[in-house]
């Protein structure tokens, strides 16, 4: 379902463009991104390194790095345009209604504040709680994310935590004010499989019990398969395919998604070697007017549609109900392993 057409979207990103630098020397990293996330939905955002997943998350939080700016498009939370909000209004939304787990948790934690006060911050702001009122909730949250001896840990500082422990504290802090939307950027990368499973169970529980909507950014297709309702595949700053998780994982339509699946650990060859997608994600300044995947795609040649692929950018077109793909070869025969 196209983002603009999804009436039930809680978070709706439409035509989003984000670039670094000045108008004269702009490096465009998101280029017309459309994405929608419904209440109680877990949407996995996947794609190779550099495809723009973290920029999408940071744009939605209005926390783009210095030098980056939104140059076009809308980001709406329950109809409210987040880009149009002033900083004060956005500060009220951030943490309380839309929260984020960052790719590098230790950098995001304040080394001068205790773990407990950082987890308490968003809930205290949202519900105007005293430290004493927040304390039992903080301990409960730390316990929920699997922190042993939460009463003791609440008094420690982030530099005393391991990477995995810091990530769990970040998760507790992000869920502190019971946000409607959680953006989780590789939330379990630093964790061992047991803790990873525990965190995924917790996210699922928050979704089931509180209707939490989760935009889950991950490289791990096993996690996608275990938790996601829908998947959006990003390539060079745009969504190239999206649809129900089972369908995308079992019957990908876009040549890039097919290649991505083959390169994943789930698809490891019997001899243990991995398939790598030849070439690299195109840098925005080298993008042509045609399909961005064209330099790496062999399907165009197989179908004899190179000229069209080089000159025109394909639109997202329906593959089946709620499943869309951005490829001129869609529906044409002979297109099984394209890359």
Ligand X SMILES: Nc1ncnc2c1ncn2[C@@H]1O[C@H](COP(=O)(O)OP(=O)(O)OP(=O)(O)O)[C@@H](O)[C@H]1O
DSSP codes of every residue in 194-238: HHHHHHHHHHHHHHHHH--EEEEE-S-HHHHHHH-SEEEEEETTE
- Minimal distance, residue 100 CB to Mg ion, in Å: 12
Cα–Cα distance, 332 to 153 (Å, whole number): 58
55 binds ligand X (CB under 6 A): yes
Task: Name the one range near ligand X by CB under 6 A: 43-51, 134-142, 158-166, 267-275.
Answer: 43-51
Q: Which residue, among 185, 139, 192, has the nearest Cα to 165 in the 3D structure? A: 192
β-sheet bridge partners, residue 233: 46, 241
Instruction: Report CA-CA distances (Å) from 250 to 146, 218, 221, 225, 245.
Output: 33, 18, 12, 10, 8
Q: Which is nearer to ligand SF4, 67 or 301 (CB)?
A: 301
Whichever of 15 and 50 has its CB closer to ligand X, that residue is 50
- From 4-12, 50-58, 147-155, 272-280, span contacting ligand X (CB under 6 A): 50-58
At 258, list the tokens. 């097919």
- The residues that bridge with 19 in the sheet, in sequence order, are 28, 69
Q: Is 282 in the site for ligand SF4 (CB under 6 A)?
A: no
Compute the Cα dihedral for 330, 333, 336, 337 and give only its sign: negative
In whole angstroms, the minimum distance from the beta carbon of 53 to Mg ion comes to 5
**What residues from 4 to 33 belong to the interface with ligand X (CB under 6 A)?**
20, 27, 29
Residue 132 half-sphere exposure toward CB, CA atoms < 13 A: 0
User: Considering only residues 54, 56, 242, 284, which one is a binding residue for Mg ion as defined by CB under 5 A?
Assistant: 54
Question: For ligand X, which residue of 52, 150, 314, 329 counts as binding (CB under 6 A)?
Answer: 52
Work out the number of other CB atoms within 10 angstroms of the CB of residue 331.
Answer: 12
In the complex, the smallest distance separating the C-beta of residue 184 from ligand X, rounded to whole angstroms, is 13
Query: Can residue 51 be called a binding residue for Mg ion (CB under 5 A)?
Result: no
Could you tell which of ligand SF4, Mg ion, ligand X, none binds residue 50, using a CB distance below 5 to 8 A set by kind? ligand X
CB 74 within 8 Å of CB 83: yes
Q: Is 14 in the site for Mg ion (CB under 5 A)?
A: no
Residues of span 79-118 touching ligand X by CB under 6 A: 103
> What is the binding site for ligand SF4 (CB under 6 A)?
255, 291, 293-294, 297, 299-300, 305, 309, 314, 327-329
- The footprint of ligand X (CB under 6 A) covers 20, 27, 29, 47, 49-55, 65, 103
């Amino acid at each position: 379902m196209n983002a603009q057409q999804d009436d039930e979207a809680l978070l709706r990103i439409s035509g989003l463009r984000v670039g670094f630098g000045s108008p004269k020397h702009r490096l465009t990293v998101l280029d017309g991104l459309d994405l929608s996330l419904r209440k109680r939905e877990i949407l996995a955002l996947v794609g190779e390194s550099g495809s723009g997943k973290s920029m999408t998350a940071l744009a939605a939080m209005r926390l783009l790095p210095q030098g980056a700016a939104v140059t076009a498009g809308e980001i709406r939370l329950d109809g409210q345009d987040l880009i149009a909000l002033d900083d004060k209004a956005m500060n009220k939304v951030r943490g309380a209604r839309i929260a984020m787990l960052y790719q590098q948790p230790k950098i995001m934690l304040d080394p001068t504040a205790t773990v407990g006060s950082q987890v308490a911050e968003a809930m205290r702001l949202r519900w105007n709680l005293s430290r004493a009122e927040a304390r039992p909730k903080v301990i409960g949250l730390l316990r929920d994310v699997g922190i042993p001896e939460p009463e003791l840990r609440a008094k420690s500082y982030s530099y005393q935590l391991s990477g995995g422990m810091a990530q769990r504290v970040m998760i507790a802090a992000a869920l502190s004010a019971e946000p409607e939307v959680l953006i989780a950027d590789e939330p379990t990368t630093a964790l061992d499989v047991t803790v990873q499973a525990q965190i995924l169970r917790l996210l699922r529980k928050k979704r089931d019990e509180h209707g939490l909507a989760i935009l889950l950014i991950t490289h791990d297709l096993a996690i996608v398969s275990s938790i996601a309702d829908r998947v959006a595949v990003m390539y060079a700053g745009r969504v190239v395919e999206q649809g129900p998780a089972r369908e995308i994982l079992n019957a990908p339509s876009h040549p890039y998604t097919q290649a991505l699946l083959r390169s994943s650990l789930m698809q490891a060859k019997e001899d243990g070697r991995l398939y790598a997608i030849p070439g690299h994600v195109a840098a925005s300044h080298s993008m042509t007017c045609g399909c961005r995947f064209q330099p790496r795609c062999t399907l165009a040649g197989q179908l004899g549609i190179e000229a069209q692929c080089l000159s025109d950018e394909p639109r997202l077109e329906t593959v089946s109900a709620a499943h869309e793909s951005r490829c001129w070869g869609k529906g044409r025969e002979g297109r099984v392993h394209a890359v």
